[in-house]
Structure 1
């Protein structure tokens, strides 16, 4: 066992080893007693959770590549409330959460940007702002299954170094005849103690002797939630004197904020599928999906901003981290953020599956999807406060520090600070068309050839909006602070802020409504307090006040992809052992166009004759268009080989080259140039000429399928990734009327290479040999160990890779007769979330585990009741810096429970 294994990992390892102890005997009994000609064996019908697990094992065993799968337990019944939550049960898959819900995937240590998520084999537009797919917009009730492809074949759409995830939805021809399924449930949130309704339904039917089918499904989700968070943005490094003493380089907390966020989510989703099968060799499918997510939230924040010049009586720990101090001559403030946003997803496609003849099958698929994120009026960021002193104490080791305050000066009024509205509008559109062919051969080494082509046209646009300068700061920076009426304020009672964490946080503080504050700040009562109110009156009259103004420097990136591929499937026997192999080659051409508007560098001039090497940047009065094109091509070979060592033991090896393109939001064409000393001129910007990450991938696995639904698998993998992005200085020549100048431009560039290696161990066992009723017990357990190294020579950035962590899953389930239940434990070890910077160390997410439970009882053939619990032990999500006592975030999302009834007809 690796020496760095956590206690939880060792416990799970012990569970795996103990579980393996009885497997051989069970397998022997199964082999001795099983006979496909035995009528009793053939009559066994397995449904529900057990059938879902058996089907998933079948997908894994039969595939020509390394793949893991999850399948629906029944029509419209997925194993978890969220698709990402289900995917994390797969070996090597971990998730990032938002508001306690799974949102983004990491596979084998590769983050969301390195994984491709497809819906029915199609790229889906997303509101993430990049390529990563946000799972919280997709209802689990609409999903039929999901496959995680961990090795590449030429047939598989390129774009993923980590894994390709294909999510499938239901179709009427999958289950001919009439089907109707519906469920209603109540969702209870443990933090708000609020109950909200959820509904889902599906109706499907086939007509005209099953030649025509229609399926419609819908899902309604409503949740009122809250999370509490103790937040420190960073521990920055400084050598400044603290209270007149120099302690050398110290770690100084940037701030400490108590954030209570209340949130309302409402999601409406639906699908419509039409299928026509006029003959056995032709099937036409037209389908569409729609999802809308409305998200409203409010943050009541008690903020504290720390400055080195205001600390008194500092106390430092053994790491030279400031853990205690009195802050004098500062402000005691209150901060409010409010937001109301909407995400929309609309997609549809046409699929024609034509069996041309006995050997040749052709599939033509055309699809289009559009996703849009609308920030509406934008999210507010508003601050008010009064002069005051406070003390900060984290020396006890509690997760939450103690803040104490000097007696308030009742004569000191509350005054205005920063106030703004801001937000980003995102539009993503994807058009795809592809043709896939398969041609089968009889006899000989070559059994099948698969070949085809793919075309994609994608455009991502991003527009930032913000309250126009100088409104955000003018009220706070006015020489005489603008006094706010006390009628704007009320006391916020947190009702047990971060009760699940150690420490004694403040439980109540003043708060207000952002909209009311904006209304007051644009009133004559507030404007008359300004030093020079006339320019602000004119600005408010022109812009409408605290409204978002779209940044003219918006941009969009268009990307066209064209690819051709061929896979040759070969099979034969090595002695008495059947083998198969797939040799593939995929050619892909990528053409991108980055379009934007920016203030242009017009000239560089000298304004001080005594400093002839100093130049000043002269910029254009208006925004000018910028357009940059980039084109590159790649050949991606792959080999996947499989050997049936025995009827139950399978060995696999695979090698491939794969790529991941840079995030679209890193390909903006905008660059900002400054003046200064000739020879030392600097600029910064994005990089529309970024090249893709490229990886050589090696996989080897051994899989033992010793009885139905039961298996043991061990897999090793290695990835050698080149072109890993970092921020670097690039020398570029800029020509203006006064001459040509050399700039050092800070941009994201393809800088480093990274090597990733890992080991996966998975066991699933059905205890069918136990006496009834214990023969309904089953267990699934898996562990993933990963490590990385990097070519970077930048101190502090060499290890580890962002998002890389070990993970473990343990699921105990029972299904017998009408009763079914499951307890799922998931753990992800500590991982790096953001790289070190010049003034601070890296930021880490601490070891996190979660326990989820579910149970159902079938009342009769048509109705069942169910109970689900998420994060039932109320685990905390914790982030820290290089030293674990440098706590950055402690977040409590609480448990949530669902009670419902499901009907099927």
Structure 2
């Protein structure tokens, strides 16, 4: 068995509209073929299945034998062909899809059944993990695929599943050495080329990845040891990106014409360096006793360099940015398809984001069978830490440049909506270091007395999760109840987010000071092709810049801590019986969950802030919290209707806890205009925030073809009882005002402490429903001449009645007044065709998802929602494993990811042609070898 052989999970997809009809026809053929198969004669040599088919059969076995509705991937599915992360592998399973990272183009956030990634529960060996982001679960790219032996996605929970999510629970498993019958050593190495054929002339990236695994048993297989190590390093290729600034109407020859309002175009390069280690020790002296200690470590660094140009064309984006005039234009149907605007003061961006993170997890599980009971004790500890820095620098013409000396910009190919398609040409040479300087070019800091030539932020995150779990199971004869399980789980989580940030000031005599851009590098501004000066700003603090720490309500709101204590008591009965002669199995049970949460933050009274420093913006530390209880019943019934067919029914009440930053106690308030009326308004977190809650009903039909393949059709319905959104509500600030607080001086709220407070709240929900179809079969079931060929195909269709007010969320360039459920793609399809025989493995895979409302991180590290166009990604994979001779055990492989170079595109939600952001990532090629002995 090849433990770490690498391979894609289930398939990818184009649109599968005729899938139902095709599945029905194919199933008829397979059933007939299966009926004709005769059992093997006694004494016939058994066939050992390896590689792709071995992984498929292992996953099918998990799915078939589970009492819950489960999708699974085995070790071979992750290892045999090179998937670098768990996210890439599970994104091919039915009802599962991934959003590509804006920075790298690789799968990152996972959505199940159309729900946001935050609705998933993520576990490692059944235990909750610490994270380095605002979300509860760690990013999947922290888990190298080689260190994971299997992944199960529970779409329906049972009462023993702790840490479950509302959409699904994703449980990653590491190796158990005593499950292997002999010593195994495996090593692999691969070389990678990224950004190939990126269509913008940017340099390609490269990288390498090495892994080693050792599994052995001792003392007559009573002691087992497993060790896995991975090392990965890569530098990404240049990615050209473009973000439009909308459309504006200006005067031209006595009429209004549409022109581009502005733009931002970046060329981005990424780099990463990660080490992963997994170690497991097992001791099983008897069949009745087993103790396991497992350790997981992941550490690394990631960086993102943005080099670009941005600027306002139609208006002004700062105090030093003059409003230009349209001085030339070619107009067609009210659109200036080409033109020139004066007063263009471009900002050359050299930004650098860098983060070092570390995740350490420890678990100790002991199982003991005694007196008719199976007793389990499980202790775990998970700790994560992240240090990050974000430098943003501006270069261009100094703030005191006379307007007559400010450049202009021209464009061609503008159609009135798609800004990404136009050609831009500035008059100023932004690649000339004698003309383009590091400076406060736009007056974003407020003027020469508070210059801002850039910004720097240095956040830190610490997260710790400790838990203890005790359970006992015993067989009973209580009618259809065959066994009962009782247990408790206690989890304590402490998370802190803190840091410094502030404006960068060029060292000099006044607010208009300039500095020469270091070095001689020149880059291209995204898709525009405009040359610009380029440098790495890391290390420039103290040499080129001073930092003035920025303290205001928005910065202080980012510092918080959360302590959460969750006690779960559960009981479950295993079912085994018959109804009208139809055998069934399953379980029913319930969890009683008590949650106690306590959070801290900062409170700012905006009217007392006269600046953005500690001395000019006083604040106080505050703390708050709440406790609440949940009762979560669940039922799973699986009916054996004969001929290897199962019909499943599941019902449960489920929950998903809010992101931890939404629970912060931070708040601020002051007088603002609302509808032209002065009123106290405030914003912040909500220390009393409770989870998302839903009731779920699932139906599933599954037809198995032995252990070789299956067909499944599932339908699901979720009633969302509560949802978390940000919304304004009436609030009396009387307990927060001080004698110095400024109150409204006119209008209906004159002198009143009553106003509007915008925080995350628990609102009423809606419903979510859909269906899933999947076929996973080898073609040998149809004909022996097709032995080695096979296909995995699935399609899901999900709808939601829920629409949400846009102002209840942080959104970017989103035009509609209401938005759909975040993360929801109505249609998701996957297809994978493969051939495996005589050591050869070849696979073609495609995955397709329709448009959806995705989540991105903005320049202040805040999560924002934006509409993302659907796409289709095609991957190719091939490998050969030597079957005999001195090369036996060696396999070589090649892969091509994103073969069709599909762009990543965001739009405003109303007009798909109104592109707000687009980029292409190019292809990724990998070449490598695995060797096991």
The TM tier, using the shorter chain, reads 0.7 to 0.9
What is the SS of the residue equivalent to 1:125? Answer: coil
TM-score by length of 1: 0.86
Which residue number in structure 2 is paired with residue 297 of structure 1?
A: 304
Instruction: Kindly state the Cα deviation for residue 559 of structure 1 after the two structures are TM-superposed.
Output: 0.8
State the 1:22 CA deviation: 3.6
Name the Cα RMSD after superposition.
3.5
- For 2:255 and 2:464, the matched residues in 1 are separated by 56
1:624 match: secondary structure: strand
Pairs within 5 Å for 1:577-616: 577-599=582-604
CA contact (8 A) 1:819 1:857 kept: yes
Provide the TM-score with structure 2 as the length reference. 0.83
Matched, 1:859 2:882: yes
Alignment of 1:476-515 (within 5 A): 478=511, 481-485=512-516, 490-492=521-523, 505-506=528-529, 508-515=531-538
Quote how far apart the aligned CAs of 1:194 are: 4.3
C-alpha displacement at 1:221, in angstroms?
Answer: 0.8
Q: Which deviations, in whole Å up to 9, do the C-alpha atoms of 1:254-288 show, x marking residues without a partner?
A: 63222111221111000111111121111111111
Q: What whole-Å deviation, never above 9, does each CA across 1:40-99 have from its counterpart, x for those lacking one?
A: 678222111101111111111111111110111189647622211110111110112220
Aligned to 1:425: 460
Q: CA 1:552–1:751 in 2, change beyond 3 Å: closer, same or farther?
A: closer
Which residue among 24, 29, 33 is the counterpart of 1:29?
33
CA 1:575 to 1:262, structure 2 compared with 1: closer, same or farther past 3 Å? same
Match of 2:96 in 1: 93
Structure 2 CA distance for aligned equivalents of residues 194 and 222 of structure 1 = 11
Aligned-partner Cα distance in 2 for 1:661–1:576: 42
- Residue in 2 that maps onto 1:182: 187
Counterpart for residue 392 of structure 2:
380
Q: Identify if the C-alpha distance between structure 1 residues 47 and 196 changes in structure 2 by more than 3 Å, giving closer, same or farther.
A: same
Of 770, 789, 800, 2:820 maps to 800
Q: What's the offset of the Cα at 1:566?
A: 1.1
Residues 230 and 400 in structure 1, CA contact (< 8 A), matched pair in contact too: no
Pairing 1:214–2:225 present = yes
Relative contact order (C-alpha < 8 Å, sep 6+): which is higher? 2
**Structure 2 Cα separation of the partners of residues 362 and 884 of structure 1:** 57
Contact 1:241 1:247 in 2 (8 A): yes
Residue 444 (structure 1) aligned to one of 479, 487, 499: 479
857-866 or 70-79: bigger deviation: 70-79
| Contact kept? 1:226, 1:260, Cα under 8 Å | no
What residue is the counterpart of 2:352 in the other structure? 338
Cα drift, residue 843 of structure 1: 3.3
Helix, strand or coil at the partner of 1:872: coil
1:822-842 C-alpha deviation (Å, 9 max, x unpaired): 11111111112369xxxxx98
Corresponding position: 1:573 with 2:578: yes
Provide the C-alpha distance between the structure 2 equivalents of 1:830 and 1:322, rounded to a whole number of angstroms.
Answer: 30
Structure 2: distance between partners of 1:637 and 1:18: 38
Which residue, out of 830, 851, 858, partners 1:809? 830
**Alignment-derived partner of residue 838 in structure 1:** none
Q: What residue is the counterpart of 1:81 in the other structure? A: 84
Q: What residue is the counterpart of 1:557 in the other structure?
A: 562
> How far 1:118 moved relative to its partner?
0.4
Shift of 1:769: 4.1
Q: Secondary structure at the match of 2:29?
A: helix
Tell me if structure 1 keeps the 8 A contact 2:15–2:848: no
CA distance in 2, matches of 1:603, 1:897: 57
Deviation at 1:333, TM superposition (A): 3.1
In structure 1, stretches of 5+ residues that fail to align are 1-7, 499-504, 523-538, 605-617, 836-840
Q: Could you tell me which residue of structure 2 aligns to residue 532 of structure 1?
A: none
Corresponding residue pairs, total = 841
Distance (Å, rounded) in 2 between the aligned partners of 1:596 and 1:123: 25
How far 1:797 moved relative to its partner?
4.8
Task: Give the Cα separation in 2 of the matches to 1:111 and 1:477.
Answer: 48
What are structure 2's unaligned runs of at least 5 residues?
1-11, 197-202, 316-322, 399-405, 441-452, 740-750, 808-815, 857-863
| Number of the residue aligned with 1:273 | 280
Q: Which residue of 1 aligns with 2:703?
A: 704
| 8 Å contact kept, 1:227–1:892 | no
Deviates more, 1:390-399 or 1:181-190: 390-399
SS in structure 2 of the partner of residue 146 of structure 1: strand
Structure 1 stretch displaced more, 408-417 or 195-204: 408-417
The match for 2:375 is 362
Secondary structure at the aligned position of 2:753 is classed as: strand
Q: Deviations over 1:838-876 (max 9, x none)?
A: xxx983111111111222211134211122221122211
Distance 1:754 1:507, change over 3 A: same
- The alpha-carbon deviation at position 757 of structure 1 amounts to 1.0
* Cα distance change of structure 1 residues 230 and 279 upon mapping to structure 2, 3 Å threshold: same
Cα distance between partner residues in 2 of 1:784 and 1:773: 32
Change (3 A) 1:690 1:903: same
Following superposition, the deviation at residue 200 of structure 1 comes to 0.3
Q: Deviations over 1:600-622 (max 9, x none)?
A: 68999xxxxxxxxxxxxx99975
Instruction: Indicate if the aligned counterparts of 1:76 and 1:181 stay in contact, CA closer than 8 A.
Output: no
> How has the CA–CA distance of structure 1 residues 106 and 476 changed in structure 2, closer, same or farther, with 3 Å as cutoff?
farther
